[in-house]
Amino acid sequence: MEHLHSGEAKHVCDSCGKNFSSKSNLTAHKKIHSGERPFECNVCHKRFRQKAHLQKHETTHSSATPYQCTVCDKAFGHPSNLNTHMATHSTVR
C-alpha cells in the first residue's frame, strides 16, 4: 500500500522496508527479492540468502576490520590490505 505525502512520494519496498526516491529505483531494487539473495548490505551491497547472514556480515562494517573480502569473507582493517588479499584470488592460470 502506498501512502502519498504532500510533496515527495516515498517508494517503500514491501519486502524489506527500504526507501527509494523514485519508482524506478524501487523496481530495480525489487529484483533482488525475486533472486536467491534478497538481503542486501547497505554498506557494500553484498547480498545474502538469509537475514541472519546479513546481520552477521554487517557486524564486520562496525568492527575494527570493516573491509571484507567478497570471495572468502576474510576481513581487513585497511582497504589496501584487502586489495593485496584480493590479488591472491585473481591469480589467473
User: Rule CB under 5 A: which residues touch Zn ion?
Assistant: 13, 15-16, 18, 41, 43-44, 46, 69, 71-72, 74
Residue 90: DSSP 8-state = -
Nearer to Zn ion by Cβ, of 9 and 19: the residue is: 19
For the CB of residue 6, give the shortest distance to Zn ion in the complex, in Å: 25
Question: What's the rounded Cα separation, in Å, for the pair 37 and 49?
Answer: 4
Q: Which is nearer to Zn ion, 45 or 93 (CB)?
A: 45
Burial level of 37, CB count in 10 A (0-12/13-18/19+)?
middle
User: Three-state DSSP class for 26?
Assistant: helix
Closest CB 24 distance from Zn ion, rounded Å: 14
Nearest distance from residue 36's CB to Zn ion, in Å? 14
